[in-house]
Structures are given as C-alpha cells and as structure tokens.
Amino acid sequence: MNLFILDSIDINTFGGYQNWINLTAPALAKRGHKVTIAGRPHSEYLRRFKVTGDSVRVFEIEISGDFNPLTIVKLKKQFEKERTDIVICDFNKDVRLAGLAACLQKEIKVVWHLGLNITKNSFVHKFLTPKLIDAAVVPSENLKKQIVASGYIDEDIVKVIPHGIPDTIFKLSREEAAEELRKKYHINQDNLVVVTSGRFVEQKGHIYLIDAAVGIVKDFPNITFLLLGDGPLESKLKSRITDSNLTEHFIFAGMLDNFDLELAGSDLMIHPSIEEPFGFSVLEGMRAGLPIVASRIGGIPEFAIDGKTAKLIESKNPKALSKAVIDFMNNPTEMVHYGTAGRKRWQEGFHLDTMVDRWDNYLKELLKPVN
C-alpha cells in the first residue's frame, strides 16, 4: 500500500510523536509499503529522518492556514502522483488539509493518529472532523476515553495501538557506559546519576522534580540530575535550580540526536509529567533496564507496572517523588530487580516489531472493502 504521513509540527520542535514517525515509517517501508513523510521545510522533524531506500520519501510543504486552498491542491496532486491509499495525520490542521485533499482525490482513507487529546469543543471541529476521517488511532486506552468523551468521535472507529521502540545497537556494558557518561559530563565517578528525558514544557513537570531534589540531595549529596531535552521553560527551570542552591547537582544536556549513553550510564530514571497520553521516555528507560519513578497518569500505568517495573506516584507531588527516589537509592538490589523487569516487559509487549505488526495488520484491514 502507499502511505502518506503528514505532520505540521513547527520547524524547531521534535517530540515523541515525531519519534514515532521516524521509527515507524522505515519499518513499514521494509515490509514492502511505499511511505512518504511530509512536513514543513527545514523542520527538525524532517532533518532527523533517515531515508531508508527508494520506498521512503520526504515531501516538504509550506503549511499555513487550516483551509489554505493552495496547500490542499498541492496535497491532492501529491496524493495523485503517489497513488496514495492511506493518509495518517497528526494535528487538527493536518486533518482538515489532508482530509479535504483526500475528498478531492477519492478512495483515500484518512487516519487521525493522536499522540495527545487535541479534540476541540467548537462547531468546526465537531462538524468537520467526523466527515474527514475514516479512523483514529491512539497509543493508550486512557487517551481513547478522552477522545471519545469529546462527543464527536465514534468509539467504534478508535483503535488503540501502543507504541513500540527497537532495541539499541549500543555496545558498551552498563559499567563501561557509567564510566563514559561521567567522563563526558565531568561528573564524579562515585556520583549517582538520575536521568530525565522530555521537552521543557509545563506538561513534563520538571519543576516538581527540582522541588523534590531539595529533599533528595539532603540524603544523597553525591547525586546528579541529568536533564535531556530543551524547550521554552529552560530559563525558568535554571532559575529555580539556582534559587534552590542545586546548581552543582543539575546538568542540562540539551536536545540530543542519540542518548543511548545517557540512558545506559545512568542509575535511575525520573519522569515527573503531569500529562502523558503514553510516555515514550518511560518506555525508553525500561528498554535501558533502568528502575523508574514516574507519575501515575495517562497511559503510563498501562505499560509501566507499579511495584514491579516502576514506582508510580501522584503527579505534582514533590514529597512523594522525593520519597520514591530515596527508597530506591536505599535499596540497590530492588533497583536492579525493577530495571530487569522493565526491560523484560518492553521486550515482550512493546518492541518496535510488535507495534509495526499491529499497524501493518490494522492498515490492511482498513483497506478491505466493506460488505
């Protein structure tokens, strides 16, 4: 089949959904499908994409208004040129642009793949969206409930397909990685390293991690918090760290193309989000064999098992976060058990191959004629 994946994310942003595309598009192409990913010119999302063979294409398109006729016509012509069978959309804007273009082209299925709840309570959304999409896919049951609660997306067309990620090709042992990580960031070799991965936005809850760190550092003064990512709240977070006298305990690593070393060389992952439809970063931590402290929100409890692969806590609660981390640090054997159980759960249910199998089968079913 011929697939077209449209994501109008702004040019400087790269998050979990864009990571999903970068993993899934080549995997589907390897199974014989023709895949095109489309986005804004010069976007970080397209820059990171690695073209795999002639069956994966990158299509740059200027995107402005939700109903821009020029964009709709360009998409229609591209669909026609590529004989597109299925369009997978991200934002509401993408649904309207690609959905209207698909209506002009005919016989194209439109799938709205939502990474978070972006349904809107407005006439345009409620009236148009059901007419422009054939199906919706979400990564968790929690998000499905939110989407259906909007009142205009029929439950019967919403499919849950959990995310999956591939194994890394990282060759260093955990001990070697720990040593290299500490050399890279000039961390004392005896320090414990706690890693947090996510954009610096309100949703990710970094501020609560900083508040929790005040108590953690009292018990474990040889701890370093390694923050992976960037975002609009970076200056605010740095100021909060300075005001809390924690500067020597925090390192901002920036947005990295590859952070296998950072995960493999750390001792623990913290994921303090206040909103998380799935939790890509938590799954990456499980794959790395890290014990995890995360918020009990959204889709996280559907794959991170409390008391076995992670300690799940109430969000926005620095005291609970601090206690969970200290409990882990006081029990190194428990940390090993949690990390081992997390990696096993990823291998058995959330590997990239498992997710691609589900998507492949679902898309084929979508194209079958209705009796």
Q: Are residues 337 and 357 in the same domain?
A: no
> 241-251 burial, b for 16+ CB within 10 Å, e for fewer?
beeeebeebbb
H or E segment to which residue 16 belongs: helix 16-30
Q: Fill in the DSSP letter of residue 165.
A: B
- And the tokens for 162? 């959990």
**Spatial distance between the Cα atoms of 262 and 267, rounded to a whole number of angstroms:** 10
Q: Are residues 310 and 360 in the same domain?
A: no
Q: The CATH number of the domain where 93 resides is what? A: 3.40.50.2000
Q: Are residues 260 and 204 in the same domain?
A: yes
**Spatial distance between the Cα atoms of 162 and 298, rounded to a whole number of angstroms:** 13
Q: Are residues 317 and 362 in the same domain?
A: no
Task: Compute the residue count for the chain.
Answer: 371
Q: Are residues 356 and 345 in the same domain?
A: no
Q: Are residues 289 and 227 in the same domain?
A: yes
Q: Residue written as tokens 């706690």? A: 194
With both helix axes pointing from N to C terminus, report the angle between 318-329 and 206-219 in degrees, rounded to the nearest 10: 40
Q: Are residues 110 and 148 in the same domain?
A: yes
Q: Residue written as tokens 């990710």? A: 204
> Looking at the predicted structure, is the pLDDT value of residue 52 above 70?
no
Closest alpha carbon to 228 in 25, 35, 16: 16
- Which pLDDT value is given to residue 371? 64
Query: Which SS3 state, helix, strand or coil, does residue 136 take?
Result: strand
Assign 65 a pLDDT band (cuts: 50, 70, 90).
Answer: confident
Give the domain range for residue 10. Answer: 2-165+352-367
Domains held by the chain: number = 2
The Cα-based distances of 25 to 80, 105, 197, 224 in angstroms read 20, 23, 23, 36
Q: Are residues 220 and 357 in the same domain?
A: no
With both helix axes pointing from N to C terminus, report the angle between 123-132 and 92-105 in degrees, rounded to the nearest 10: 40
How do residues 191-214 score in pLDDT, each as one tens digit?
999 999 999 999 999 999 999 999
Q: Are residues 99 and 28 in the same domain?
A: yes
Q: Give pTM, 2 decimals.
A: 0.86
**Spatial distance between the Cα atoms of 245 and 187, rounded to a whole number of angstroms:** 18
Q: Are residues 54 and 85 in the same domain?
A: yes
> Looking at the predicted structure, is the pLDDT value of residue 292 above 90?
yes
Q: Are residues 215 and 233 in the same domain?
A: yes
User: What percentage of the chain reaches a pLDDT higher than 90?
Assistant: 83
Q: Are residues 145 and 287 in the same domain?
A: no
